[in-house]
Amino acid sequence: MRLIMNEKNFQKKQAALAALNYIQTDMIIGLGTGSTVSYFLDALAASQYNVIGVTTSTITSQRCAELNIPIVDIDAIDHIDVTVDGADEVDSYLNGIKGGGAALLMEKIVAKNSKKNIWIVDRSKVHNTLGSFPLPVEVIPYGSGQLLRQFANKGLFPKLRRHPGNNKPVITDAGHYIIDCHMTTINNPYALAEYLESQVGVVEHGLFLNICDRIIIGDNTVEIKERQQAHVEIN
């Protein structure tokens, strides 16, 4: 039976295929996590490019093994040419929210060590401002209940991420919990990032600010947006 690809998956695949235009043989490529990246991994494996990947999750590492994409430990290399990753939400400044797949810590480490960062997304991920996607915050388990209280008092509407099946807390690859903050709108992501980074017990947050260099938005006609200049706003 032939399955018809739905519109969102079609857009994801179009964005993933377009990202191949920025890949060259012998590159060291950061490989993100998620459904859109999965399409990119398929395209990369089918291409003629001889590359080495640096993965951001055990899931991506497993996919690379299945597809025979060679990978290397991040500490065994001195540079990453480009990272291709997805995003849960992107604003007009190319800032984003990531971490829906609970891989934000490793994704941010790889991104920060990359010369260039490309995000591949479907049209539904692009908004004028951030906040419609809950902001993930990775925290150590010890004292996580205290952080939940502090975040609630701050008006961040936090909720500990749990598995829908057994209701146990989701554990990241690094052994941490995820607190999702349901704020609807984030008026000043820079100030919020500064606040979160100052809280003891917070390992990392899902605000990726001034990191992405180019987003590829999948559609019938692929749209590419590039960062013009850094946008910093701290009040």
Q: Return all residues near 46 (Cβ < 8 A) that are at least 6 apart.
A: none
pLDDT digits (tens, 9 = 90+) for 177-191: 999 999 999 999 999
For the chain, how far is it from start to end, CA to CA, in angstroms?
56
Residues designated catalytic: 107
Neighbours of 192 (CB within 10 A): 21
Contact 233, 193 (CB under 8 A): no
**Distance (Å, rounded) from C-alpha 92 to C-alpha 106?**
25
- Report pLDDT for 39: 97
Answer yes or no: is pLDDT of 210 > 60: yes
Helix axis angle, 35-46 relative to 7-19, nearest 10°? 50
pTM for the model stands at 0.93
| Greater pLDDT, 3 or 30 | 30
| Greater pLDDT, 165 or 195 | 195
Q: Which long-range contacts (CB under 8 A, 24 or more apart) does 222-229 make?
A: 222/14, 222/15, 222/18, 224/18, 225/94, 226/94, 227/93, 227/94
**If we measure between CA atoms, which residue out of 53, 35, 57 comes closest to residue 44?**
53
- Report pLDDT for 220: 87
Q: Is the domain defined by 7-128+209-226 classed in CATH 3.50.50.60?
A: no
- Report pLDDT for 228: 78
Topology of domain 135-203, CATH: Alpha-Beta Plaits (3.30.70)
pLDDT digits (tens, 9 = 90+) for 91-125: 999 999 999 999 999 999 999 999 999 999 999 99
Domain boundaries, the chain: 7-128+209-226, 135-203
